[in-house]
Each structure stands twice: as C-alpha cells, then as structure tokens.
Amino acid sequence: MKLIDWLKASFPVQQIKKNEVNFNCPKCSHSSFYFNLNKKIGYCHRASCNFKPSLRDLIDLKGYGPSSYYLEIKPEPIVDKEIILPGWSALDDKWVIEALKYRGVDHKAIGKWQIRASHFNIYIPVIENSKIVQLVGRAVDRNKIPKEGFNTSIKPKYKYTEGKSISNFILGWDECKEWEYIILVENSFNAIAWREKFNCSTNFGSNLSEAQIKLIHKSKIKSIVLAWDADAINKAWAAAIKLNKIGIKTSIIKYQKYNQPDEVPFDILEKTIKQLQNTTNAPITYGPLIMQV
Ligand SMILES: [Zn+2]
C-alpha cells in the first residue's frame, strides 16, 4: 500500500494539493491539518495545537502503517568508529605518574594498560580482541598535589567515549577470559593495581549486565569473588544469584568497618580473597558465599 492510499484509508482526507494532504487534525480535530508527502511530516495550523507528527507518530497512532513504509525500513548500520586515543601517554606525565602511584598503579602498569593523560583527565583504554572498544576517563585536578589530585569537584567524574556502553565490557578481558577465577571490583584503578596480585578486574560499577554475564559464561572462569563497595551488597547478591544460575561459583566481600576494598588493609584483603577462593574452589558450594572484613 502506498503512503497516499494509507492516509486516505486511515484519516478523513478532505483534499490533496500537490504534496499536501489535508485532513482533520488527529490531535485536536481542527480542519487545518496538512501532511507533506515528501517531508513525511504533518502540521496542524491551529496555533493552540501545533501538532507536528512524523509519519512514525501517525503510524503509532493508528497501530499499523502503509506497507511501503515497512519495506523502506533498513536496519540501522552498526557504527564502528575507530576510537582515537586522547591526550598523551601517562608515561610522559610526572604529575599523573605520581598521582597514580597513590592508587597503587605503578610505572609498569601505566605502560601495560597504555594509560593516557590530558590536562583534565586520566584515560584507561578498554581493549577487547586487541581492539580499543571504550575509554574510561577519570577527571583529575592538577591544581592540587598529585596525592590529592583524584579529589575533584569536576563533573562528571567519569566519562566514556561514543559507541557501545561501558557496561558491555570487563577490563583487560583478552587476558582474564583465560583465568579460572576472577575478583571483580568497581574501580578501574583498583583493578589495575591488584591485577597481578589476585586476578583482579573490573566490570566498571556495581552491576553485571547481561552482556558481561554472557562474556563470563563463554570464558574459562569458574569462580568469581565480588569485591564491590559496601553500599552495593544487595546488587552483589543479585549478581551472584545470576552467576550461580550459569554455574559460576560466587562469593561476596561484605564490609563491617570499611566502605570499599581499597580501604581494607591490603594484607587483610588479600587473606580474605585467598580464603574465598579456596572455598569457592571447593567441590560444592551452595549459593553465594559471604565473607566479612
Ligand atoms: Zn491540531
């Protein structure tokens, strides 16, 4: 069915002049409503109404559209733009090197993770299948000494680049998909600092998306310790249940005195994680395990 025939069948068409089809306004019923066949947009000339529906809006209104419309719909092209790295290598930036030292990220890690810097941000490239798929930008305040540099009122504190949302990824996935167990934290810098110490990574926040659960499901990972922040305990519990359903043994760190893992003295954190690993690696676990620090 052509557009014009669909309009005639769907609305009380009064007249057609060139490309303008006139019928009563679908919103206010006034007679001065025109639909332009070329622009595929309607317009109500009554000042108090001003209804300006697209063809899509009219189709929504009717619940069905002209067959020509459906034939014209093409799937949206998947935008796969190359991500341009911003700023410069953090290895060339003394202030950033010093600031990252206080987050436990050393010179070697800066190189390994290809961490970048600009005047206002530190950037961590997120790489999957050897390709940069996202960028985590963390605002910093260079007017402060490096130790205080992460304390900034700049908003947003975190920013990402165009393209697929950060919730689709797990940091350094090419490497961690080969592991048997993984510790997930919320913060990227914690994840980098603890990477070599206990198979640490981040899911960038306190939620495991369906996409991330799929990644885990397809990987060699068999057990996961969720070391998210204290306020995310319920979310961690919900994620653990989902992981259990796909056969991943899961345990959660719960905090008594602290708010987040990097506040826990490192030896205690390490000991707790080791204990949790041993327990989750045992032949049988029933649901998520919780360990308190
Ligand atoms: Zn109207």
Query: 40 alpha carbon to ligand 1 midpoint, in Å?
Result: 17
Share of the chain above pLDDT 70, in %: 94
Segment 100-111 mean pLDDT: 96
Q: Contact at 8 Å (CB) between 219 and 255?
A: no
Query: 27 alpha carbon to ligand 1 midpoint, in Å?
Result: 5
Strand partners, 135: 125
Which residues belong to CATH 3.90.580.10 in the chain? 3-72
Q: Is 285's pLDDT higher than 70?
A: no
Query: 50 alpha carbon to ligand 1 midpoint, in Å?
Result: 6
Query: 24 alpha carbon to ligand 1 midpoint, in Å?
Result: 8
Across all residues in the chain, what is the average pLDDT? 90
Query: 26 alpha carbon to ligand 1 midpoint, in Å?
Result: 7
How confident is the model at residue 70, as a pLDDT? 73
Alpha carbon distance 183, 172 (integer Å): 13
Alpha carbon distance 133, 204 (integer Å): 14
Query: 112 alpha carbon to ligand 1 midpoint, in Å?
Result: 61
How confident is the model at residue 287, as a pLDDT? 66
How confident is the model at residue 281, as a pLDDT? 67
How confident is the model at residue 75, as a pLDDT? 57
Which residues are near ligand 1, the ion (C-beta closer than 5 Å)?
Answer: 25, 27-28, 30, 44, 46, 49, 51
Tell me the pLDDT tens digit for each residue of 30-89.
Answer: 999 999 999 999 999 999 998 999 998 898 888 788 877 777 666 555 556 788 899 999
Selected from 3.30.930.10, 2.60.40.2130, 3.40.50.720, 3.90.580.10, the CATH number assigned to the domain covering 3-72 reads 3.90.580.10
Segment 114-125 mean pLDDT: 95
How big is the CA angle at 235 (ends 284 and 257), to the nearest 5 degrees? 90
Query: 31 alpha carbon to ligand 1 midpoint, in Å?
Result: 8
More confident residue, 29 or 292: 29
Which residues belong to CATH 3.40.1360.10 in the chain? 166-293
How confident is the model at residue 229, as a pLDDT? 95
CATH class of 166-293: alpha beta
Query: 30 alpha carbon to ligand 1 midpoint, in Å?
Result: 6
Query: 240 alpha carbon to ligand 1 midpoint, in Å?
Result: 53
Question: How much is the pTM?
Answer: 0.71
How confident is the model at residue 179, as a pLDDT? 95
Segment 243-250 mean pLDDT: 92
What values do phi and psi take at 233, rounded to 5? Answer: -60, -40
Burial 101-137 (b: 16+ CB within 10 A, else e): eebbbeeebbeebebbbeeebbbbbbbbeeebbbbbb
Query: 25 alpha carbon to ligand 1 midpoint, in Å?
Result: 5
